[in-house]
Amino acid sequence: MDWSRRNFLRRTSLAGAGAAVGGLSTMLDGCAIAQRYDVIIRGGQVIDGTGAAPVVADIAIEGDRIAQIGPVQGSSGNTIDASGKIVCPGFIDIHSHTDLSLLVDPRAESKIRQGVTTEVAGQDGSSLAPLTDAQLGSLQDGYGRRYGVDIGWRDFTGLFDTMEQQGIGLNFISLAGQGTIRGYVVGNENVPASARQLDAMKDLVDQAMSEGAWGLSSGLEYTPGSFADEDEIAELGRVAAGYSGFYATHMRNEDDFLVEAVSEAISTARKAEIALQIAHFKASGRRNRDKVAICFDMIEQAVDEGMDITLDRYPYIAYATTLQNLFPTRFRAGGAEAFVSRLQSPDVLPAMKRAAVDKVDMLGDWSAVMITSVGRAENQDYVGRRVSEIVARSGQDPFEFVRELLIAENGSVGMVGFGMSEEEITSVLTHPLVMVASDGGAAAVTGPLSETTPHPRYYGTFPRVLGKYCREEGLFDLPTAVHKMTGQPAQRLGLTDRGRIDVGLVADLVVFDPDTVIDRADFMNPHQYAQGIESVLVNGAVVIESGEHTGALPGKVLRKQAESA
């Protein structure tokens, strides 16, 4: 598809500013009275986030709100020339892991430079509240000591207050983690919850929602959340549903048992009578590619029956997780120490090896496993390298290398698994129920957040969709791509004042060049900012100007209304 600016304008019928479309049609007459505004964005091709075609217009901003759209007659001390550029709502990352990193570097550089203005964290069953004394101590001894961060809260009110007092560069939303809550009440053992424990977990969900959480998340490939059955999770989901929250799930399986995992997710949401968000939907492994169509059939049928289901996906052929995830959850019960002990048990080790090798065979071979993070200095050389490469010179058995590394690091090793394909990405991203998400946190090219080797999605998710999959490969048109990043996630959250461009809505805005926007980060060199994102405004304040961070921290913690439905 030819995405030259001339053809872009021709295809979208933008012969002039009078080509009004969609929700902007009533705003284009302008105003004859000159007025002073805080910011004016002039001459951009405005994509409003609804999926409607662009229209050339000015946007005037007063305070944190859009004051006027159309030929703006007023003036401003800060005018952004968006001629030939796209102006759209700020991107909402519906599945993000930007949380503690905001306390290390509140600018959230790798995300704001993609155009992300709102992060939805507390994902995969893991949230930063509620915390027991032991959970708090673990965070303080680990992340807090490593980065010099003061971690002193135990509930969502304390977490949110801490972020607001420090200041943050973008907006922050959190879900309540089912795994965190189960760990709080039941612990890390693979045991069913008693009736009393279930009631205690429900009370914690109720408290979290009343303090401003937006729903419940689960990570059913991770312990201890994976030890809960469908009925237990549905009971917690029903509480979140009482606050009009939603249920976001990292399903129990994303490869050989994907169909069964989707069935469980649908059944859980149906029992809880709650909206369902299937996180980072994928079919990992060559032998599982045909399951994408089967799962979409199941999901579409459930939607036809009245269920509210949407999905999200990042635009990469590899996923990021922990090296422990090569092993089934039964071997991870009891926490890291118990897992490492099993790796050294002659009675258990043969079964663990069979399971891990089968997982790798599903991916292809050991070249599909890349080490991304370790803690010990003597193991840093392994970071950014694939297991097959690491053992090539020594001739060591790949599984034995992985076993020894996990023991040395007390089970804490990050990995990337190359399990998907471009064809699989296409089949997922183009589905109308699927929105774009990074499944990544904030990083930076300098400072403490540059010291790991993250998945490139931390830096490139949204520009990659716009540049590679929209402009270069033509999977969908630009308004559809923007809708998947703005209006669609806003609708899932129930955000009525963000995710779209209209008068009176919050001025979370992005200006980007449709001809040059692209990701630059890759798996070997992930610490590279995207290009083509020229300006980003958060709550009406300019945070990215001419591609550079202004230092402004205008972000807000968005707390869901506490009133029960």
Number of domains in the chain: 2
Of all residues in the chain, the percent with pLDDT exceeding 90 is 87
pLDDT of residue 562: 60
Neighbours of 139 (CB within 10 A): 18
pLDDT of residue 11: 35
- Does residue 5 sit within a domain? no
Residues 290 and 389 in one domain: no
The set of residues, in sequence order, having a beta carbon less than 8 Å from that of 118 and lying 6+ positions away, is 90, 91, 92, 93, 170, 171, 172, 173, 495, 498, 508, 558
Residues 433 and 395 in one domain: no
H/E stretch holding 415 reads strand 414-418
Residues 343 and 230 in one domain: no
End-to-end CA distance of the chain: 47
Question: Two tokens at 458?
Answer: 């931390």
pLDDT of residue 356: 96
Cα 478 from chain centroid (whole Å)? 21
The candidate with the shortest Cα–Cα distance to 81, out of 29, 41, 121, is 41
Q: Can you state the angle between helices 230-241 and 178-185, rounded to 10 degrees?
A: 110
Cα 452 from chain centroid (whole Å)? 19
The candidate with the shortest Cα–Cα distance to 463, out of 18, 93, 38, is 93
Residues 337 and 481 in one domain: no
Residues 207 and 309 in one domain: yes
Residues 430 and 371 in one domain: no
pLDDT of residue 390: 96
- Does residue 509 sit within a domain? no
Of 400, 418, 436, the position where a domain reaches its end is 418
- Does residue 45 sit within a domain? no
Q: CATH number of the domain at 123, please.
A: 3.20.20.140
3-state DSSP call for residue 499? Answer: coil
Residues 302 and 409 in one domain: no
3-state DSSP call for residue 420? Answer: coil
pLDDT of residue 314: 97
Report the predicted TM-score, pTM, of the whole model to 2 decimal places: 0.89
- Does residue 558 sit within a domain? no
Report the distance separating Cα 550 and Cα 107, nearest Å.
10
The candidate with the shortest Cα–Cα distance to 532, out of 93, 49, 102, 82, is 82
- Does residue 451 sit within a domain? no
The set of residues, in sequence order, having a beta carbon less than 8 Å from that of 138 and lying 6+ positions away, is none
What phi, psi does 447 have (nearest 5°)?
85, -175
Strand 509-512 vs strand 434-436: parallel, antiparallel, or unpaired?
A: unpaired
The candidate with the shortest Cα–Cα distance to 219, out of 95, 337, 102, is 95
DSSP 54: P
Of 455, 489, 523, the position where a domain reaches its end is 489
Q: Which domain holds residue 347?
A: 321-418
Of 418, 437, 454, the position where a domain reaches its end is 418
Residues 347 and 199 in one domain: no
- Does residue 55 sit within a domain? no
Residues of the chain under the 50 pLDDT cut: 1-22, 25-26, 29-32, 563-565
In the sheet that holds 171-174, the strands lie side by side as 91-93, 116-121, 171-174
Residues 244 and 339 in one domain: no
Residues 183 and 263 in one domain: yes
Burial class (CB in 10 A: 0-12, 13-18, 19+), 415: buried
Write 188-196 long-range contacts (CB < 8 A, 24+): 188/223, 188/224, 188/333, 188/334, 188/335, 189/224, 189/227, 189/333, 189/334, 190/223, 190/224, 190/227, 190/329, 190/330, 190/333, 190/334, 191/227, 192/229, 192/232, 193/228, 193/232
- Does residue 389 sit within a domain? yes
Q: What is the DSSP string of 102-135?
A: HHH-TT-HHHHTTTEEEEEES-TT--S-S--HHH
Over the Cα atoms of the chain, what is R_g?
23
Residues 187 and 301 in one domain: yes
- Does residue 531 sit within a domain? no
pLDDT of residue 24: 56
Residues 407 and 275 in one domain: no
Report the distance separating Cα 175 and Cα 241, nearest Å.
13
Question: Two tokens at 378?
Answer: 């003597």
In the sheet that holds 215-219, the strands lie side by side as 176-177, 215-219, 246-250, 275-278, 309-313, 434-436
The set of residues, in sequence order, having a beta carbon less than 8 Å from that of 306 and lying 6+ positions away, is none
Residue type, 219: G
User: How big is the chain, counted in residues?
Assistant: 565
